[in-house]
């Protein structure tokens, strides 16, 4: 009889426990994943990239990653190198663990794959062949100044838009960034690409590869080198 009493006494408790689970509808979850185990693109982007590159890769203070032309211009290896080791002469830090950052190789690959899936588009340059991404040595600063005055100064004057020939601006960007923006544009801030004459997208005579090289050479000559050497690429905080 005592055994029967114990069994019957346990039944209400079991029913109560089952009832609690049924009412709440919740299922016990395990511990949250460790930071290095997170490989979801949106989570990684929002935690590590959004502050500088903006929501959905646009309207941030730094490069428009959501621009399909940028995605078409920069290959995976270049993206991986920039994310892993940062970009000298800019505020882009090194994110790879082996470079002092806090992202694993798997997480960096997940960010690259996510950007391609979300923002890359086929034929982003509408059949045109863009100038090469890498800035070659040399370039005519004199010719670059002429092209800048003819093709760029009309929009980049006054106080309404950024002044790319300002030493203050040039202290924050590298030649690689300048070249990338000239080629791919920044549609989030109405900066046209190399094929268009103005922010309204009017087609014009595309800038040649030499034009792009020379504009960058001209802007490079306006930069105070001390401001770049005195500002090493920062590192993200350790977790």
| CATH 1.10.760.10 domain extents, the chain | 34-124, 134-233
CA angle 128, 131, 133 (to 5 degrees): 125
Taking the C-alpha atoms of residue 67 and residue 69, their distance in angstroms, rounded to an integer, is 5
Question: Right CATH number for 34-124 from 1.10.150.570, 1.10.760.10, 1.10.240.10, 3.40.30.10?
Answer: 1.10.760.10
User: What pLDDT does 202 receive?
Assistant: 53
**Whether residue 110 has pLDDT greater than 80:** yes
Helices 209-222, 141-151: inter-axial angle, 10-degree rounding: 100
The string of pLDDT tens digits covering residues 117-130 is 999 999 999 999 99
pLDDT category, 138, cuts 50, 70, 90? confident
**Tokens (6 digits) for 69:** 């032309």
Does this model's pTM top 0.85? My answer is no
Q: What percent of the chain has pLDDT over 90?
A: 62
Question: Right CATH number for 134-233 from 3.40.50.1820, 1.10.760.10, 3.40.50.1000, 3.40.50.2000?
Answer: 1.10.760.10
Query: Is residue 147 within 8 Å of residue 207, measured between CB atoms?
Result: yes
Q: What percent of the chain has pLDDT over 70?
A: 77
State the residue for tokens 């979850």: 29
Query: Is residue 99 within 8 Å of residue 85, measured between CB atoms?
Result: yes
């Amino acid at each position: 009889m005592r055994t029967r009493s114990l069994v019957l006494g346990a039944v209400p408790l079991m029913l109560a426990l089952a009832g609690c689970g049924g009412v709440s509808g919740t299922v016990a979850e395990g511990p949250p994943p460790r930071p290095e185990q997170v490989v979801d693109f949106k989570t990684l982007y929002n935690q590590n990239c959004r502050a500088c590159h903006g929501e959905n890769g646009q309207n941030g203070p730094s490069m428009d990653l959501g621009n399909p032309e940028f995605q078409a211009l920069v290959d995976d290896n270049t993206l991986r190198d920039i994310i892993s080791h940062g970009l000298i002469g800019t505020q882009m830090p090194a994110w790879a663990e082996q470079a002092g950052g806090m992202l694993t190789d798997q997480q960096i690959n997940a960010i690259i794959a996510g950007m391609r899936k979300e923002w890359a588009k086929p034929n982003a340059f509408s059949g045109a062949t863009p100038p090469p991404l890498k800035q070659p040595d040399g370039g005519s600063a004199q010719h670059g100044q002429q092209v800048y005055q003819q093709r760029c100064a009309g929009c980049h004057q006054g106080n309404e838009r950024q002044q790319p020939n300002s030493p203050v601006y040039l202290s924050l960007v590298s030649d690689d960034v300048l070249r990338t923006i000239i080629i791919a544009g920044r549609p989030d801030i109405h900066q046209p690409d190399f094929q268009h004459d103005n922010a309204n997208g009017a087609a014009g005579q595309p800038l040649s590869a030499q034009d792009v090289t020379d504009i960058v050479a001209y802007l490079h000559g306006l930069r105070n080198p001390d401001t770049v050497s005195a500002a090493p690429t920062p590192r993200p905080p350790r977790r």
